[in-house]
Amino acid sequence: MYPDPKRVRDRRLTLRLDEYEHAVVVALANYQGEQPAALLRTLVMREAATLLVSRDDSILDRASA
């Protein structure tokens, strides 16, 4: 069914938000016409990609500490 079985999204992470943060995510998801979880996955992966290509070496310094 899937060309690459590793692309199946079956890994779960828990993210806890307060009421105000949740309201922002839900409002943005509604505005975009997406599900909140899909929106958060997109935002997290976009930020991760930005950090990976960033020239800011302090990120690497913090990871090795």
Tens digit of each residue's pLDDT (9 = 90 or more) over 8-46: 888 999 999 999 999 999 999 999 999 999 999 999 999
Q: Is the distance from CB of 15 to CB of 40 less than 8 angstroms?
A: yes
Q: What is the pTM of this model?
A: 0.72
Predicted local confidence at residue 51, as pLDDT? 85
pLDDT at 54: 80
pLDDT band (50, 70, 90) for residue 58: low
Of 9, 8, 27, 6, nearest to 17 by C-alpha is: 27
Comparing 21 with 2, which gets the higher pLDDT?
Answer: 21
Q: What is the pLDDT of residue 37?
A: 96
